Structure 1
């Protein structure tokens, strides 16, 4: 809860403070690096499993991951130390009233720009039957905030 409050404060201040904006970009990059490391380890473990190799991850691979993880942790610690210097605070009560607009599955086609091929591919994937003749698929839609994940999902649904 405390970190989310700091991030909310940073997002509110980034337009008026270039240092906060830079801090927020560095934080997002560090979080992405951590996610990428997790994906890299999961991929390698899955690759070994698929190839039928009943061995553990190689020492070189683990050493490489360890170094990257230590770098990411160090970056996150540095960013944590900058929170006070930037004047970012943990607000438990927000000064601005946040209201959520009602959600609807209707999407204006003009809201979707340059993603028609991805939309068609996703629809084909969702509608195809698997080898057992079942027509059930779950597809995660991942990405940073405000890149259009919900818009894409709504457009595919419609």
Structure 2
């Protein structure tokens, strides 16, 4: 629907890198659809493309990590422009193993890990509902990367 496409083209919101680990496999991708969906209890949802390598790992994971991105494009290009089918993205970044082995990237303005408590199929993306278990927040309110900053990155996987 053309009017809806024009409407969403006006939106600008943060983008995130979401990481997962399951059965010894790590994955991560750039995510444009995510947000807080409950205050009490605290809940956050991330929508992962079914075409993405990370989707398969996330479906088997018990925890996901959600990372705010710095304004430079390095992490966005790595996690959005390459596919885990071909590249070990975690060789390129500093990270540590969070709950259940989920990779937590250290060189970011902030992150949280969340336990996957539900997921729902909503078209070409699946929503993963997260209950936060740990977080690190920025000391200062540094600007974070937004959708308008990364719209020109070619996806590592076709949609």
Query: Would the TM-score normalized by the shorter structure come out above 0.5?
Result: no
More helix by percentage: 1
Which structure has more relative contact order (CA 8 Å, sep 6+)? It is 2
TM-score normalized with structure 2 length: 0.19
If you compute each CA radius of gyration, which structure gives the higher value, 1 or 2? 1
